[in-house]
Amino acid sequence: MTSMSSTLRPTPIDWSLLVAVAMATVTGGFLGPTWLAATSLAAIALLACLTPPEKLVLWYVATLALIVPQGMIAMRLSIADLFAIPLIVRAAVAVMKGTTVPRAAMRWPLVAVAVAFVVATIVGYFRLGRFTAYAVINKDVGIAFQFATYLALLVFVRTRDEVLRLARAFVAGVGVANGTALIAVITSFAGVTNVVYLVSNARFYGWMQQPTVHGGLLMAAAMIEFGLLRTDRDVWAGVRWLNLALFAVGLGLTLSRGSWLSVAVAAATLIVALAWFDRDPAPVRRWPVFASATLWFVVPAFVVGQIFFANLGAKLFHSPAERAEQIKQTAIDTCKADPTLEMCHEVAQAAAQTPPPAVAPPAPVAPVPAPAHAPTPSVQPAPDAKLLGPMMNARGLDDRMAIVYIGWRAYTEDRVSRAFGAGLGTFYARSARDFGVPIIIHNTFEWFLVELGPFGLLAISWFWAQTLLNAYVAGRDTAGLGYLAMGALAAFAGLTIFCLTNEGFYQRQLWLVVFLLDRARALSARAPLVSNLSTV
């Protein structure tokens, strides 16, 4: 009988995949020829079909940090999706042949989310009079794909060793992606144009080509690695600690305040989990993780606090309604300067559909003479504003609060919205009236409430609560996957912050963390043994 270690040894197909993935990534990041990127992606898709499922799951998680070049396709796809598709097919074939699917604690929350999407899609159709491509393709198909990938992982990841191997592959893949992207940062200063690091705004975009998303990936991988370092005892510990240091460098270069806040919350959660669950009588391996997690909490918490209070002292924040109007006016002014931009067609349509505001003329007010030596009003920056440099703006928080404000207004528009939600995709379809261009709701929980209604909010709350319960049950089992569960719980806490400032429900790392906690609970010594034998 062939051992698992022998089946996981690199083969010519694996080496070919490594070359194809590197070519697709580098070509996209350095704006290479489209034909070469397309050829590399086609090679990945073909070779993935020839890869056995036990390796497909590892390739999938190892490539989560690599995006398909957006010049190739309008949707935001990861190279990992090219491995997920044959993995889903293999899982479907295995189930049809009689393979049982391990019981998942997340099964009923997932069913509730699916029902909420179906209802919201129907409501959206009656609201808009049509199915929109955004709702059907980006949302419905996207969530169905996440469900299918989750079930495929359930089929092929069954034992504790396989769960640990999956987590290690994710950390290693993100580490390689981050390390090579940091090399691209150096080349950008040498004048080599790439989308990984833009010298013009000094932000680290990573291979995902989005600073906040890249920061979220690094945060999740770092927290899981903390849990693995508390679990593993191997000779690679020095290399893995160096990888964590590079994660910290990458997170710093993103200049993403949301990512830094998520790191602080995640690290604080890890500290509490270690203090609560870790009862190892030999604390030699505990204190390096505990001390490092403390550093990961203190530094970003201090920096984000300084930025917030400096912006507050400089009075850079606006009311949500005022900021919404500013965003709209900016879109109009941008299109006046360059009407050829892609967004300008929608801006013009929104301007034509927006009725002029009915505002009564203001009553005449007698002028008040100013004092002879009245000071000129000005906003004085906070004392540390110069030190914070490009961080001295409140646009990110202002924009999100404006979107939350308009989203709540859309939800409370009428009784149908309050009962069933505004409908899937309706906010995006109608938001140009308020912002000049279509905008999504940058808050996962409010998005569920606004478009999927109270039942949608209940479904995602159940999804979150069940994951936290899974973490609690698995975290008590420090003899098995308990330490991994603590790291995954920390990552989940950080991703919760991400979801409060972004629409993050479709982030693949979120679903991977949820899956790890689901499996860790099922394989916990404290869980009933039958949980590994019954079907979904």
* Burial class of residue 381, CB neighbours in 10 A (0-12, 13-18, 19+): middle
**DSSP string spanning 324-373?**
HHHHHHHHHHHHHH-TTSTTHHHHHHHHHHSPPP--PPPPP----PPPTT
Rounded (10°) CA dihedral 178, 182, 185, 190: -140
Q: What is the pTM of this model?
A: 0.86
User: Looking only at Cα atoms, what is the longest distance across the chain?
Assistant: 96
Distance CA 309, CA 312 (A): 5
| Token reading at 97 | 């042949």
pLDDT (tens, 9 = 90+) of the chain, 536 residues, equals: 344 455 678 899 999 999 999 999 888 878 778 888 889 999 999 999 999 999 999 999 999 999 876 555 555 678 999 999 999 999 999 999 998 888 899 999 999 999 999 999 999 999 999 999 889 988 999 999 999 999 999 999 999 999 999 999 999 999 999 999 999 999 888 888 888 888 777 889 999 888 999 999 999 999 999 999 888 766 578 899 999 999 999 999 999 888 999 999 999 999 999 988 887 765 556 788 889 999 999 999 999 888 877 766 656 556 666 666 666 666 666 666 666 655 565 566 656 655 554 444 444 444 444 443 333 333 334 444 444 444 445 456 677 788 888 888 888 888 989 999 999 999 988 888 778 778 888 899 999 999 999 999 999 999 999 999 999 999 988 777 999 999 999 999 999 999 998 889 999 999 999 999 999 999 986 554 333 333 33
CA 445 to chain centre: 14
